[in-house]
Amino acid sequence: MDHLAECQKNGRETHNRFWISAALADQGCQVSPEDWRIAAAVERYFSAFLDYCRLIPGTGSMLETVKTKYRLGLLTNFTHGPAARNILDYLASLPFSASSSSRENSDTANPIHRYFLKLVEHFGVEPDQILYVGDDPEPDIEGARAVGLQPVWTTYVMDHQVPYARAF
């Protein structure tokens, strides 16, 4: 199964454990996506990200300033929720966030509207009162715009040709 093509077609993300199980099956090794060895491989794979993660310059001071006037939240489509939290803890940016959400317990990716709508519900404001910053035009910008949020496209990573795994 082409998991990436399926996600692009129907907006439903496939957790990494299914990708690994399918790759093993292609090699003639049948291992359930729920197998502890696959879970351990996913954890090990994502733990390697920590050494390469850096905040975009100016992010910390910008968040410090913004949080004095606005409530902050985080919505991520990172494929593994625990890894996203570990990265945020590692970067010490989680305290900036009053609310955080990922699709950790779901198989649905941005731009599925319900995640943006949950953000609206959480903050208890009209959609156009939320400024949503994202780095991917289709799921982030178009997804936010589709439910009435005010999207801002950050292009730092693209503009500075930062390898994607190093920017967060």
Q: Verify that 64 and 132 share a domain, yes or no.
A: yes
> For 103-115, how does the pLDDT look when each residue is reduced to its tens digit (9 = 90+)?
444 444 444 678 8
In the chain, the number of structural domains is 2
CB atoms closer than 10 angstroms to residue 37: 11
Least confident of 20-24, 95-99, 123-127, 140-144: 95-99
pLDDT at 93 over 80: no
User: Which residues constitute the domain of residue 153?
Assistant: 51-166
Give me the CATH number covering residue 87: 3.40.50.1000
Report pLDDT for 9.
59
> Of 76, 75, 71, 74, which is closest to residue 123 (Cα–Cα)?
71
Q: Verify that 8 and 81 share a domain, yes or no.
A: no
